[in-house]
Amino acid sequence: MFSNINTASISTLVPLVAITGFLDGIHPCAIAILIFFIAFLLTLQKTFKNIFVLGLVYIFVIFLTYLAVGVGLLSGIMLFGQHLFFAKLGSWLLILLGAIHLKDYFFPQLPIHLQMPKVSGDKIKSLLTKATLPSIVVAAFLVGLCSIPCAGGIYVAVTSLLASQTTYFTGFLYLLLYNLMFVMPLFILLLFAANPLTLAKIAEFRNKNERTEKLVMGLLLIALGIGILTFLV
């Protein structure tokens, strides 16, 4: 079953995919909405078990949605055939997204921001306040789709690289790893729901350091893009 895996690239691709997946998961869209959702459930005096189960549903649906987007993208690139072109294009996209993050740090008043559309965010929050299983599933699905403008650039770049470096089956396995790491920050955040004070401190810390986060992410994305262009394509 695993005979198709290119073992020569595992030592490079596994840490690259895992790290970029985790970095991609540290974005304001899904995290801010999960904090809102947990805080809302706490106001309803839900038990930690109840919050944890509903939170897991939210995270799992985001995982499946983002994975489906990646599989579709991987299939499309491999079907098109220009794997190296898309890998280079994805690398330049990383550099561009990094530049936008730096722009938001140094010149936040300028247009073009990587964020979820406001109308989508309002709709998602409205669904989550119903606190029913169907509404949570629909809201999480929308979060997965609407996170693409916020964080999808890294995903496109990594998926393009996988298409140029691996077989379809191997690429799918890497996408599984990527998406597990993508939802890991959400899962860690969910664990803090046991302590409302800690959750409030996390939300406060993110608000205070939002601009610094953009600076760090911008530098990391540019470094990743240059690294992929230099060593992998």
Q: What is the per-residue pLDDT for 42?
A: 74
pLDDT tens, 118-175? 667 778 888 888 878 888 888 888 888 877 766 667 888 889 888 888 889 999 999 9
pLDDT tens, 213-224? 888 888 988 998
For residues 101 and 114, the answer to whether their CB atoms sit within 8 Å is yes
- How far apart, in Å, are the Cα atoms of 165 and each of 47, 73, 128? 46, 15, 40
Q: Comparing C-alpha atoms, which of 217, 202, 219, 224 is closest to residue 31?
A: 202
Mean pLDDT across the stretch 71-92?
A: 83
Tokens representing 10 are 């595992």
Which residue type sits at 128? L
Q: What is the per-residue pLDDT for 8?
A: 46
Q: What is the per-residue pLDDT for 70?
A: 92
**0.95 surpassed by pTM:** no
Mean pLDDT across the stretch 6-23?
A: 80
Tokens 């608000």 locate to: 207
